[in-house]
Amino acid sequence: MAKVLFINPRVREEDEPRHVPYGIALLAAIAIDQGHQVQVYDENAWRRGPTVLEQVFKADDWDVIALGGITTSYNSIKQIVPLAREFCPGGVIVLGGGVLTSLPREMMTWLPDVDVGVIGEAFVTWPELLGAIDTGVRDFSAINGLILRKDGGLVFTPQRGLIHNLDSLPYPAWDLFPLEEVYFPNSQTLYSEEGMLATRRLDINASYGCSLICRYCYHLGIAGDMRYETGEDGEVEVVFDTPGNYTRTIRYHSPEYIVRMIKHMYDKYKVNFVVFLDENLMTMDRYSKGTWLREICRLWHENGLAPVMREDGTWDGVFWSGTSHATLCNPEILKIMREAGCSHLVYGYESFAPHVLKTIGKGATPANNKRSFFWTLEAGIRPVPNLIIGFPNDDFESLRANMQSWDDLGIIVKPHFATPYPGSEWFTVFRSDIENQYGGVLERFIMALGDASQITAVISKNFNAVELVGLRDIMVALNHDRINEYEQIWRRNHNIPDGQPSTLVGSTQDKEIKR
């Protein structure tokens, strides 16, 4: 059977490694179930650099070197792949995940040492590819869901469909990762008291996809949003959301599978906290007509997982957290979730300005956002608001609306910057402008991407990068006077008199928003 080496590239280097890479852990388990010999080197956990990577590559005669991740892991991948080719000349280098799926042709061009790219969901493609490699096959054109090098060019094999029985998947191969050395010591999540006291945390994906059409969001090709189209030049391309063209496939594990897996984690690894990595728990609950989360919570109690506090502040059982949505939650389900151990929920409020929310595609209003915040607090769950500035039509009115809402809620939120990640609708809409901001070199933008806490490509039609950075700091300082003062400077610079909307009209971006 094939000797498979997974490499988990670095990501979010400004923070400690906190999350076992769920996708790699799942694919490793699938390969092991097939009988392949699998090893993992977690460069994101160890962060030892090229010297140790060289030792890892030389440690065996690897048949396959597999790596992948989200787009922000690209810098690390770009360093790893040439080393893999140098020290494993006979191995098949396979790249997958969102970094490849969002820009398959570009990634294969920028990374000439990659032999095969796995596009979209890999649960079926990956074992088929390993099976072919194990039998000595090197022509993979009969396998769906790939981008290949052929005759000096790049070719796509037919699109791979999504699986629908998620319960057929094995549990992730957590044993292959440095849990005790790295991940458990970094268990704390600073969003709730229980999260801050967590000592043995693991994460799960209970569902894949989301019903919403948030224009800044990329679903990694696992939500039905990805399709293949043939352009006028005859080239096949992977296409994601475009204005007015949306497809969503909603999939989730059964409550029985989810709680059975949590019980396994509790019994084997003694976990006391679990984070649901799902895009939106409430989407799945609404899609299941309100039965999914209720049943998960019921089984949580039935299996003895509901936390019981000790006098010393520790607990038996498992606290948990996840994501919610302002228009989909209600007081009843929030109370049920809290009783089962839910400690905090992340809400992507994004903005409290009505005219901004209308362009995002999330279906929320300022009133929905505020109502869900207080509902969650009243249920005993800590709401964690996420805000973004730099949306295409953000203006001084929207900045003030956000600051006023912070006053109403009694909070301060440091906003992220609107970032058009590859695969999102706004990346497609603003791609030419993004490239222009990086001298026409798209790869420079990809290499600059982080977790949206730093400014990269700007899609705002009213503010430039310097203004957004400065305005965010002024907002967090709650300095309304400085906001007002700069608006007057801004109006003079753009010849917009008082009394007129603080919006630059007629730009290319403005036309894209209206379209």
Q: What is the DSSP string of 461-477?
A: SS--HHHHHHHHHHHHT
pLDDT band at 503 (very low <50, low <70, confident <90, very high): confident
- Mean pLDDT within 284-308: 96
pLDDT at position 248 is 81
pLDDT band at 340 (very low <50, low <70, confident <90, very high): very high
User: For residue 223, with 0-12 CB atoms within 10 Å meaning exposed, 13-18 middle and 19 or more buried, which class applies?
Assistant: buried
The matching CATH number, chosen from 3.40.50.360, 1.10.3080.10, 3.40.50.280, 3.40.640.10, for 3-158 is 3.40.50.280
- Mean pLDDT within 314-333: 96
pLDDT at position 218 is 84
Confidence check: pLDDT of 515 > 50? no
Specify whether the CB–CB gap between 260 and 295 falls below 8 A. no
pLDDT at position 513 is 42
Sheet containing 342-350: which strands, arranged edge to edge? 201-204, 273-276, 319-324, 342-350, 382-389, 416-417
pLDDT at position 510 is 45
Residue 39: which residues within 8 A CB-CB, separation 6 or more? Answer: 3, 4, 5, 6, 60, 176
Residues 131, 36: Cα–Cα separation, whole Å: 9
- Mean pLDDT within 64-87: 97
Hey, what are 74's tokens?
Answer: 């690209």
Mean per-residue pLDDT over the chain, rounded: 94
Give the range among 56-60, 423-427, 438-442 with minimum mean pLDDT.
Answer: 423-427
Q: What angle do CA 211, 215, 219 make, to 5 degrees?
A: 55
Domain with CATH 3.20.20.70 in the chain: 187-213+253-389
pLDDT at position 508 is 40
Confidence check: pLDDT of 60 > 60? yes
Phi/psi class of residue 49: alpha, beta or left (left: φ > 0; alpha: ψ in -120 to 50)? left
Domain with CATH 3.40.50.280 in the chain: 3-158
pLDDT at position 147 is 97
Q: CA nearest 504: which of 452, 458, 448, 456?
A: 458
pLDDT at position 225 is 79
Confidence check: pLDDT of 277 > 70? yes
Confidence check: pLDDT of 122 > 50? yes
Confidence check: pLDDT of 509 > 50? no
Torsion angle, alpha carbons of 336, 338, 342, 345, to 10: 90
pLDDT at position 512 is 41
Residues 428, 210: Cα–Cα separation, whole Å: 19
SS3 percent helix, strand, coil of the chain, rounded to 5, is 40, 15, 40
User: For residue 357, with 0-12 CB atoms within 10 Å meaning exposed, 13-18 middle and 19 or more buried, which class applies?
Assistant: buried
pLDDT at position 219 is 78
Main-chain phi, psi angles of 14, to 5 degrees: -75, -5
Confidence check: pLDDT of 159 > 80? yes
Is the pTM higher than 0.85? The answer reads yes
Give the residues across from 324 on adjacent strands: 347
pLDDT at position 28 is 98
Third-level CATH fold of 187-213+253-389: TIM Barrel (3.20.20)
Q: CA nearest 416: which of 398, 397, 396, 391?
A: 391
